[in-house]
Amino acid sequence: MDLDLAPEDAVFRDKLRAWLKQNLPQAARRRSVSEGEAPGARLAAMKAWQRKLHAAGYVAMGWPREYGGQGATLMQQTLLSEELVRHKAPGLVGMMGLQMVGPTLIHWGTEAQKRRYLPPILTADELWCQGYSEPGSGSDLASLKTSALREGDHFVVNGQKIWTSNAQIADWMFCLVRTDKAAPKHAGISYLLIDMKTPGIMIRPLLQMTKDAGFNEVFFDNVRVPVENVVGGLGQGWAVANTTLLHERNMLGSTTQTQNIFEALLRVARTTLRDGRPATEHPVVRQRLAALKIQVEAMRLNAYRNLTATLQGKKPGIEASITKLVTCELNHQLAATALDLLGPYGTLYRGSKHLRDDGFWPYELMFSLGLIIGGGTAQIQKNIIAQRGLGLPRFK
């Protein structure tokens, strides 16, 4: 493992840092969870930020040039995502397009699909949502029931999706549907691109414990979708969906984000009193912080080890599952520790003038729980690590 940057990568990083210093929106430097911002204005600001990044060449840098990317090296992509997190840049509103359906289309899509769907993903002109989970099909995704029956040159879609993040703002959904009820479970599934404005789609928001309504139920009642919107061929949906899932896991676990949260926790510990002294001088707190720091550091080095392996051309294995599993659980523990240190102040939420760090800690405690479940639960990641990584037998 070589932790030194090549000269051209150091130049790339320095240029990026200078750009971020000049262009990062001031209000976005922190992860604000304050009330009072109109959702429309927030969405417009997030789209504007993605367009600014795109104009500077910093969106989807790894995509091939013919589809609007830069054909950037893996090292440059890694530096970009690290620097964005380090500078507390706002997340990209088009993330599901950029990180999930975009790479999937590059791999599986027809040329016409790539030309049609990729450009507006880059510019945030079209936002996407993921229609996988159903009320009875989460971890056991292949049991999904939403059906798409062929009628001439259209499919007619009927059924229900649930936990659909961002459906309320999405223009399109990449959706798993059952196109052949007689085929074995996995073989009857297709991957369909659905225009969210099509008649027959109803979206119902679900309120989360953070008080946000970021995900939804989506109902399909005789929704007509052109047959050319199938990706990867009829009945190939399971393989296509797994390409997307791998990218999703990569998206959900960020070791740099976890390092940021640990640094913020340290600031809380240094400025909070325990038995009349800074909490960082209290032996029990010190033990707890040290144990967390060891995990954070192990994940940082693990990320570099994975990067080195990929740069050396080794095939990806279970790394994304490990990173997703550990960082999501670690973020939750970091938030729980901060709340313990803050005592009664930690329980304050939106609207209070006594909020610490703009209410980040209670928000993170609740939000991080969702990420432990979304994109494949912690238990499912453990199954993957056990079976594909350690070669253990399948649990029956």
Ligand X SMILES: Cc1cc2nc3c(=O)[nH]c(=O)nc-3n(C[C@H](O)[C@H](O)[C@H](O)COP(=O)(O)OP(=O)(O)OC[C@H]3O[C@@H](n4cnc5c(N)ncnc54)[C@H](O)[C@@H]3O)c2cc1C
Contacting residues toward ligand X, per CB under 6 A: 129-133, 138-139, 163-165, 215, 370, 373-374, 376-377, 379-380, 383
Given 82, 126, 134, 248, the catalytic residue: 248
Nearer to ligand X, 98 or 289 (CB): 98
Beta-carbon contacts of residue 323 (< 8 Å; ≥ 6 apart): 249, 250, 253, 255, 299, 302, 303, 306
Minimum CB separation from ligand X for residue 175, in Å? Answer: 9
Minimum CB separation from ligand X for residue 134, in Å? Answer: 8
Beta-carbon contacts of residue 220 (< 8 Å; ≥ 6 apart): 146, 157, 158, 159, 160, 161, 200, 201
Nearer to ligand X, 131 or 235 (CB): 131
Would you state the structure tokens that stand for residue 385, as one six-digit string? 């690590």
Closest residue to bound ligand X by CB: 138
Distance between CA 3 and CA 305 in Å, rounded? 10
Nearer to ligand X, 72 or 322 (CB): 322
- Residue 90: what are its φ and ψ, rounded to 5°? -65, 150
Minimum CB separation from ligand X for residue 375, in Å? Answer: 6
* 248 assigned to active site: yes
Amino acid at 322: I
Minimum CB separation from ligand X for residue 322, in Å? Answer: 16
- Residue 219: what are its φ and ψ, rounded to 5°? -110, 140
CA distances from 92 to 31, 51, 81, 200, 389 (A): 13, 10, 11, 29, 32
Q: Is 223 helix (H, G, I), strand (E, B) or coil?
A: strand
Nearer to ligand X, 73 or 165 (CB): 165
Active-site positions read: 248
